[in-house]
Amino acid sequence: MVATFDNKKLVAVKDIKIKKGMTANDLVKMMGKSGGFTAQKLSDAADIVEKMFKKKDCLRILSFPACIMATGTRGVIVDMVKKGFIDVIITTCGTLDHDLSRTWASYYKGDFLMDDAKLRDNGISRLGNVLVPDDCYGIVLEDNLLPMFDDIFKDTTSLSTHEIIDQVGARLDDEDSLLYQCHKHNVPIVVPGITDGSFGCQLWMYYQMHRKLRIDLFADEQMLSEMTDEAKNTGAIIIGGGISKHHVIWWNQFRGGLDYAIYLTTAQEYDGSLSGAQIREAVSWGKVKANAKKMTVEGDATINLPLIMAAVEDRL
């Protein structure tokens, strides 16, 4: 006898069987059969990403906050651009800081429980369990960016954030750099809060001696408006909340909502925050279609994103 509920066939929970030599795709597919809490969500999210990548005429958007670029998961994001999976990125200013700093210097492994006062005495900032020495961050950015700005703005005084970032990427030569790969593969990076970080601070410092300098934020918004409006389908991989998440769903509401969306978050929804809002909440705003393929996956994106992408790459 087949078990049913509400005239639908019930699917039995199956145990996960770990085998020597199994692939990430094998494991993620098995998670989808286990009915095991967030494991099920992660497996469903991988299925949605696979469909989104295979869908023709689909504008694929990636958004994330800066912190993830200070970790090894930066390499996963860079590979997504290199392999043609992403059409546009919306992120925060710190993404530029960390990508450039790690292009010219190194970050180091630390611990969440280190003595922060001692770290400051030694000129080291702590980002979770990642250590960022002062001479690998602000100093190296100032030394390298200000001369670049002289060259970038020699024939103009007004550029959008995606144009400035592209011009910086054009002056790099590092296969591991997000800015370099985005320039190489024509993937625009939009940073709505461009002054909220060291890269933006360097622009402000440059402005002190170049008072005609203007950042054309409207050109960024115009590009996003045209890209989403012209797309037959849109899909998004959204990591974390804040301005980068909202910019993705905001522009998609004008076309009736996203067709595909997965959201990787550690925030909770009880306080009404955007970061904690499940992707289904965006349906009520018209930012995600009611019939969209969508899933929120709770958990650390430095774990979940590599697992999802490893599984999807096997399938593609």
Supply the residues annotated as catalytic.
287
Sign of CA dihedral 149, 151, 154, 157: negative
Other C-beta atoms lying within 10 Å of the C-beta of residue 163: 18
Name residue, tokens 């009915």.
35
User: Rounded to an integer, what distance in angstroms lies between the CA atom of residue 96 and that of residue 92?
Assistant: 8
Q: Count of alpha carbons within 13 Å of 28, Cβ hemisphere only?
A: 26
User: Rounded to an integer, what distance in angstroms lies between the CA atom of residue 39 and that of residue 33?
Assistant: 9
Of 253, 216, 215, 218, which is closest to residue 234 (Cα–Cα)? 253
Listed in order, strand segments (DSSP E) in 55-197 are: 58-64, 88-91, 108-109, 124-127, 130-133, 158-159, 189-190
E strand or H helix at 262:
strand 258-265
* Separation in Å, CA 278 to CA 41, 160, 238, 262: 12, 31, 11, 10
